[in-house]
């Protein structure tokens, strides 16, 4: 009878193949994109120069007035100057989302 048969154990290589496939998925969909984003952000912070428009992780928008080794002097509205760590810079003006870029992104998504 079919109901009395003992279940067969899966082959060892299929188990290893499954775990290997899971590791590949984690790498390509989680680890690799995060590393690329981190490297791009590091490059942005290392290439800051006077006059760049930036946004901090706290949401402060301003222009770089001076760049030092680990800090920047950020000039905000009203001529106020703030000393901010380079690690607090999250965006520059070229990566900020505007109405035009948002519309282009939406139209591109609609075409697909």
Question: Given this model, what pLDDT does residue 11 score?
Answer: 74
Asked whether residue 109 carries a pLDDT value surpassing 50, the answer given is no
Q: Among 2-11, 22-31, 102-111, name the most confident range.
A: 22-31
Residue 35 pLDDT more than 70? yes
pTM here is 0.61
Mean pLDDT of 81-86: 95
First to last CA, the chain: 53
Comparing C-alpha atoms, which of 58, 61, 67, 69 is closest to residue 92? 61
């Amino acid at each position: 009878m079919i109901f009395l048969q003992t279940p067969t154990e899966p082959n060892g290589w299929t188990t290893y193949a499954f775990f290997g496939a899971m590791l590949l998925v984690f790498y390509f969909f989680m680890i690799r994109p995060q590393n690329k984003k981190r490297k791009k952000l590091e490059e942005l912070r290392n290439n800051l120069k006077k006059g760049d428009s930036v946004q901090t992780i706290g949401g402060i928008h301003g222009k770089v007035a001076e760049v030092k080794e680990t800090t920047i002097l950020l000039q905000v509205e009203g001529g106020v100057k703030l000393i901010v760590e380079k690690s607090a810079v999250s965006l520059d003006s070229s990566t900020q989302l505007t109405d035009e870029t948002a519309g282009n992104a939406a139209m591109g998504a609609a075409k697909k």
